[in-house]
């Protein structure tokens, strides 16, 4: 039986592959655009931002409207289901489906026209919403609805889901802002849907359906503004203009495919002003909403104290402005012709509120921070206050605003009964609540089904809607009979049948729905635990300096990363990605995701990589962590770690990539570049014995290219030069401090001070010289000696070297990284546990101490101590506890004549932040242009074969244009050795580290 079953399964797979390829070939022949049936691509599109996983048979990338029409015709003839997809940020599972996915976001994203007089815009369905806002802004116009995902959500998706956003209170839903739609229905009919009875003629039977069900439509549909569940048939009523275009909005791709849309624009409000009101809790805040709506605000948003606390933990205390006292807040935006008029409206709202806890924020930094909290809610709310994964599903329920407070109280009671938690927030002015809940999905969807059923019954009790703006999708469609009568459900079925009788458009959604607990992604994944802890005890090597430092005996760690925040499980970590899609935004000011910004391919975005990794952990589509599909997906990840800070869900793809490489090549021969680049500190140390000879040999172009080729590197790159005298050698030889009058060398090599008594009074700082600074850029630590001594510090350079293992980590050689970090802990640990700050000069290496070190040694107290002691130069000089004392006589060098192009290192931006450096430079008077985005070299990435073009494209996003635009005499400032190397090799510009600039001005 077993061989027979295996043979049958193999035959079924062959038949499925043949059928898939036949469909793809038909599309390629007739349509002529990109058609991808690869396993990797199908994995990328197997899910959206929901809980659901449906693997498509192919993904099509139409380049024109004609391509879309032709593809739909082929698929209709072949009876293959089709799902239209924009940014894939749908939280209800309405952007995934069987058959073929049409991706509109790659090529059909243009604003075709803006008519300022008519206040309309014509757009393609793949247009990102923020792109329309930019096009309309010069005319003083904007599109009214503005969901928090507006910098990546497409207008086609917003039309499909009837998206709303905070300002729907003033401007209505997407349906209220659609003038007409160019569509193709499931029968292949192309027509323009608009308002008025004549548009019904394009759909035979529609007028009769409406006429025969007038009473039903009037009583069950359109009862309040956020009744989005089902189809919005109320727009078909004669008193509502018989508007077919508006009725098609929110049909979730199940009725028509949108080819083009004409949208209504509204004037941009003047003097936007934010009122923040504090209440004891969210329900009490909701009770106040009806009275505040009378003042016609632009937005009323609700925020819970627990969500605000999560923001503080994720982004620091400075990310949240001072708030009125309370456990829940309302954010109420008003506008006016003038600031005085807006402030008067704000005052009226404060007076009408039932709370005295209030604050008024005109447009500015604090108001921006408040809106950022709200915008990041979709990702940050993906974790409960205790850090557990929270899931969408009951994500955007809505009730009439006057009933919102009582609904929230009953919802809290329901959640308490199930023992689940979440972070509520939402569009309280419309009665819409966003909430992700830590329902256990690791093994099954049984709890999800029962909770969702009871929650739907609760919302029905309050006359509400399962969905307030995101649609029903696979998450809620099965529950529609709980809020609609059987007659209304039949009417929904009849409406769809007029347009798509074969049920080929996004099947399983709204009509003839899939079950709530079918097609769930998380239960199919397998646990992949970290290795068991390795614990050893014994004396710590190194010893005390001057007999005052105390060692730490216990050492502990994991064979790979511990994933301590994710139950020590790689699968749980990978499922942090719930598809919010912020990584798809390519707007200025964001570092994530540099390779996607260069290629605009889902393969190269953090979310796409996470999806393929999740499929590898599932094991049914992508064959495990060593599968070529996963290797291809991770290939162009720069390991910049920007996602670890920019992604609101906390996805750290650099860490996942390292762990995957570690597990894949454990005990196996690795790619040659893993040895050439991954062991760079080892080669640099060996080169220290004959640097001049090696530099001379590698200066011969033929030899250099041969070495690069043999080492798996791109021959268009250059081999970095090794220092003639490494820093540590310079120090041990008694390297002097330059430019500080009156200093002399004391007994310890490189130690300088006026006398021993003064030396004892000076605060101590460990100057940690990483491998790059020591062997490739010794001028940086030399400058640090000068600056630190001038600032009154007693500079300590440990006798033993201490490598952080960065290059081993980035190439997934975690056993080697652990060995080096064990040595580092033995050298730096005693200083750290005694409270002596450790100055890191290379940002990527410092970031290891501040992040990866503790993930590799989660139970070693030395790791925690080193993490807390590690500082950047700017942090050392500006933090109150480490800054130079008044007695030191230190004054910051004057940089008022300096204009600098500044490239923050990605790891510094992601782990330490660049705020202290920016503040230091500005306080010294420098004029700076701080770039956003990666330089493109990213350590070993830009050196590897196959990465050169992407590396250059990433550099072209910000770095290279800024260097070309720089004026003569401008300084290129970059602490990262790789950033300076990229500028040198691609633009011929020599960069400086911050400490070098300060040393020059002592």
Task: For Cα atoms 597, 601, 602, give the angle at the middle one, nearest 5 degrees.
Answer: 105
SS3 (DSSP) at 784: helix
For residue 588, CA distances in Å to 403, 903, 958, 972 come to 41, 14, 9, 20
CA 741 distance to own-chain centroid: 50
> How many whole angstroms separate alpha carbon 555 and alpha carbon 538?
8
874 falls in which pLDDT band (50, 70, 90)? Answer: very high
User: Does the CA dihedral 434-83-203-512 come out positive or negative?
Assistant: negative
Confidence at 1, pLDDT banded by 50, 70, 90: low
CA distance 329 to 347: 17
Q: What's residue 711's pLDDT?
A: 95
Give the separation between CA 415 and CA 834, rounded to whole angstroms. Answer: 47
pLDDT tens per residue across span 181-221: 999 999 999 999 999 878 899 999 999 999 999 999 999 99
Examine the pLDDT at 578 and tell me if it is beyond 50. Answer: yes
pLDDT at 533 over 60: no
State how far the Cα of 915 lies from the Cα of 879, in Å rounded to an integer: 12
Number of neighbours of residue 243 by Cβ within 10 angstroms: 23
Check pLDDT > 50 for residue 775. yes
pLDDT in tens, 510-522: 999 999 999 999 9
Give the model's confidence band at 378: pLDDT under 50 very low, under 70 low, under 90 confident, else very high.
low
Instruction: State the chain's maximal CA–CA distance in angstroms.
Output: 101
pTM, whole model, 2 decimals? 0.91
Give per-residue pLDDT as tens, 546-558.
334 444 334 444 5
Look at the block and give the residue holding tokens 């026209």. Answer: 113
pLDDT-above-90 percentage for the chain: 81
pLDDT score at 182? 98
Q: Which helix (H) or strand (E) holds 257?
A: strand 256-264
492-512 confidence digits (pLDDT tens): 999 999 999 999 999 999 999
Strands 764-768 and 794-796: parallel
| DSSP for 683-699, written as a single string | HHHHHTTSHHHHHHHHT
At 473, list the tokens: 């999708």
Our CA angle for 580, 263, 372, nearest 5°, is 35
In tens, the pLDDT along 790-813 reads: 999 999 999 999 999 999 999 999
- If we measure between CA atoms, which residue out of 756, 749, 751 comes closest to residue 740? 751
DSSP H helices, 540-581, are 570-574
Indicate the average pLDDT of the chain.
Answer: 91
Which band of pLDDT confidence, cut at 50, 70 and 90, is reported for residue 758?
low
Please give the distance of CA 135 from its chain centroid, rounded to a whole number. 25
Peptide bond into 559 cis (omega under 30): no
859 burial (CB, 10 Å; 0-12 / 13-18 / 19+) is middle
Question: pLDDT per residue over 277-325, tens digit each?
Answer: 999 999 999 999 999 999 999 999 999 998 888 888 877 778 888 999 9
Written as six digits, the tokens of 283 are 């329900």
pLDDT digits (tens, 9 = 90+) for 469-484: 999 999 999 999 999 9
d(CA 738, CA 743): 9
**Inter-residue contact 716 to 723 (CB < 8 Å):** no
Question: What confidence tens digit (pLDDT) does each residue in 831-861 have?
Answer: 999 999 999 999 999 999 999 999 999 999 9
**pLDDT for res 537:** 40
Residue 749 has pLDDT above 70, yes or no: no
Rg (CA), the chain: 30
Range list of β-strands (E), 325-449: 328-334, 358-362, 396-398, 425-426, 432-434
Q: By C-alpha distance, which of 170, 133, 141 is closest to 334? A: 170
Nearest Cα to Cα of residue 330 among 309, 363, 302: 302
- Cα angle at 97 between 460 and 446, to 5 degrees? 50
DSSP 670: P
The pLDDT value recorded for residue 757 is 64
């Amino acid at each position: 039986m077993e061989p027979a079953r295996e043979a049958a399964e193999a035959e079924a797979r062959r038949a499925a592959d043949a059928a898939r390829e036949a469909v793809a070939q038909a599309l390629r022949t007739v349509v002529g655009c990109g058609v991808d049936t690869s396993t990797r691509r199908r994995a990328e599109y197997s899910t959206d931002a929901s809980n659901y996983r449906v693997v498509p048979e192919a993904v099509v990338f139409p380049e024109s409207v004609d391509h879309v029409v032709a593809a739909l015709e082929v698929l209709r003839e072949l009876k293959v289901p089709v799902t239209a997809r924009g940014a894939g940020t749908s939280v209800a599972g309405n952007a995934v489906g069987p058959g073929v996915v049409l991706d509109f976001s790659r090529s059909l994203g243009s604003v075709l026209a803006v008519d300022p007089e008519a206040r309309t815009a014509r757009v393609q369905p793949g247009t990102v919403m923020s792109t329309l806002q930019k096009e309309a802004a010069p005319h003083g116009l904007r599109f009214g609805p503005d969901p928090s995902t507006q910098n990546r959500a497409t207008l086609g998706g917003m039309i499909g889901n009837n998206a709303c956003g905070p300002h729907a209170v003033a401007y209505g839903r997407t349906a209220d802002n659609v003038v007409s739609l160019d569509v193709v229905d499931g029968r292949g009919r192309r027509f323009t849907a608009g308002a008025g009875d004549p548009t019904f003629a394009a759909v035979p039977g529609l007028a009769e359906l409406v006429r025969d069900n007038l009473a039903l439509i009037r009583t069950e549909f359109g009862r309040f503004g956020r009744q989005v569940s089902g189809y919005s048939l109320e727009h078909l009523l004669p008193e509502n203009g018989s508007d077919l275009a508006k009725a098609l909005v929110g049909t979730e791709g199940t009725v028509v495919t949108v080819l083009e849309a004409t949208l209504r624009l509204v004037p941009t409000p003047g003097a936007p002003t934010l009122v923040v009101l504090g209440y004891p809790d969210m329900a009490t805040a909701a009770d106040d909403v009806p009275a505040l709506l009378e003042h016609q605000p632009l937005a009323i948003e609700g925020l819970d104290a627990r969500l605000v606390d999560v923001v503080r933990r994720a982004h620091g205390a400075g990310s949240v402005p001072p708030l009125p006292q309370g456990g829940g807040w309302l954010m109420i935006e008003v506008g006016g012709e003038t600031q005085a008029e807006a402030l008067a409206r704000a005052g009226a709202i404060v007076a009408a509120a039932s709370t005295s806890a209030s604050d008024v924020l005109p447009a500015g930094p604090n108001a921006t921070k408040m809106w950022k909290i709200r915008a990041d809610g979709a990702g940050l709310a993906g974790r409960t206050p205790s850090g557990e994964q929270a899931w969408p599903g009951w994500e955007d329920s809505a009730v009439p605003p006057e009933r919102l407070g009582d609904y929230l109280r009953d919802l809290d009671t329901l959640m308490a009964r199930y023992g689940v938690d979440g972070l509520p927030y939402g569009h309280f002015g419309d009665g819409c609540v966003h909430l992700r809940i830590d329902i256990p999905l690791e093994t099954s969807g049984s709890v999800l089904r029962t909770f969702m059923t009871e929650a739907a019954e609760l919302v029905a009790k309050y006359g509400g809607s399962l969905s307030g703006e995101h649609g029903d999708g696979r998450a809620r469609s099965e529950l529609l009979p709980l809020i609609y009568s059987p007659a209304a459900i039949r009417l929904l079925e009849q409406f769809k049948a007029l347009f798509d009788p074969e049920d080929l458009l996004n099947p399983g959604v709204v009509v003839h729905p899939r079950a709530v607990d079918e097609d769930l992604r998380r239960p199919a994944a397998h646990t992949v635990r970290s290795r068991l802890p390795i614990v050893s005890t014994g004396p710590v090597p190194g010893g005390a300096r001057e007999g005052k430092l105390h060692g730490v005996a216990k050492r502990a760690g994991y064979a790979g990363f511990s994933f301590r925040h994710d139950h020590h499980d790689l699968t749980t970590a990978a499922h942090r990605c719930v598809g919010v899609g912020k990584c798809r935004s390519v707007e200025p000011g964001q570092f994530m995701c540099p390779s996607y910004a260069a290629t605009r391919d889902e393969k190269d975005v953090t979310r796409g990589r996470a999806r393929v990794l999740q499929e590898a952990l599932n094991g049914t589509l992508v064959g495990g962590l060593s599968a070529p599909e996963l290797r291809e997906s991770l290939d162009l990840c720069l390991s910049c770690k920007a996602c670890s800070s920019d992604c609101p869900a906390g996805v750290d793809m650099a860490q996942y990539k390292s762990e995957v490489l570690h597990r894949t090549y454990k005990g196996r021969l690795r790619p040659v570049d893993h040895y050439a680049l991954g062991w760079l500190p080892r080669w640099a140390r060996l080169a220290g014995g004959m640097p001049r000879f090696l530099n001379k040999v590698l200066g011969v172009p033929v030899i250099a290219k041969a070495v690069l080729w043999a080492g798996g590197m791109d021959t268009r790159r250059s081999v970095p030069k090794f220092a003639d005298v490494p820093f540590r050698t310079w120090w041990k030889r008694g390297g002097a401090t330059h430019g500080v009058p009156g200093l002399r060398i004391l007994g310890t090599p490189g130690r300088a001070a006026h006398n021993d008594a003064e030396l004892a009074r000076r605060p101590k700082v460990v100057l940690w010289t990483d491998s790059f600074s020591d062997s490739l850029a010794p001028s940086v630590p030399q400058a640090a000696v000068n600056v630190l001594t001038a600032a009154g510090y007693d500079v300590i350079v440990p006798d033993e070297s201490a490598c952080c293992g960065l290059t081993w980590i980035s190439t997934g050689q975690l056993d080697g990284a652990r060995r080096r970090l064990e040595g580092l802990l033995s050298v730096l640990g005693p200083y750290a546990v005694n409270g002596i700050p450790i100055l890191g000069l290379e940002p990527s290496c410092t970031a290891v101490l501040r992040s990866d070190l503790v993930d590799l040694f989660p139970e070693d107290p030395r790791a925690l101590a080193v993490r807390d002691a590690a500082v950047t130069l700017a942090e050392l000089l500006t933090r109150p506890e480490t800054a130079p004392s008044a007695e030191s006589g230190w004054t910051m060098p004057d940089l008022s004549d300096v204009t600098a192009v500044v490239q923050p290192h990605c790891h510094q931006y992601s782990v330490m932040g660049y705020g202290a450096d920016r503040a230091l430079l500005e306080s010294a008077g420098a004029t700076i242009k701080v770039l956003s985005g990666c330089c493109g070299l990213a350590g070993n990435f830009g050196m590897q074969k196959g990465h050169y073009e992407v590396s250059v494209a990433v550099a072209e996003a910000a770095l290279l244009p800024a260097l070309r635009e720089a004026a003569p005499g401008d300084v290129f400032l970059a602490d990262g050795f790789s950033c300076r190397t990229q500028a040198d090799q691609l633009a011929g510009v020599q960069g400086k580290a911050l400490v070098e600039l300060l040393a020059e001005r002592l």
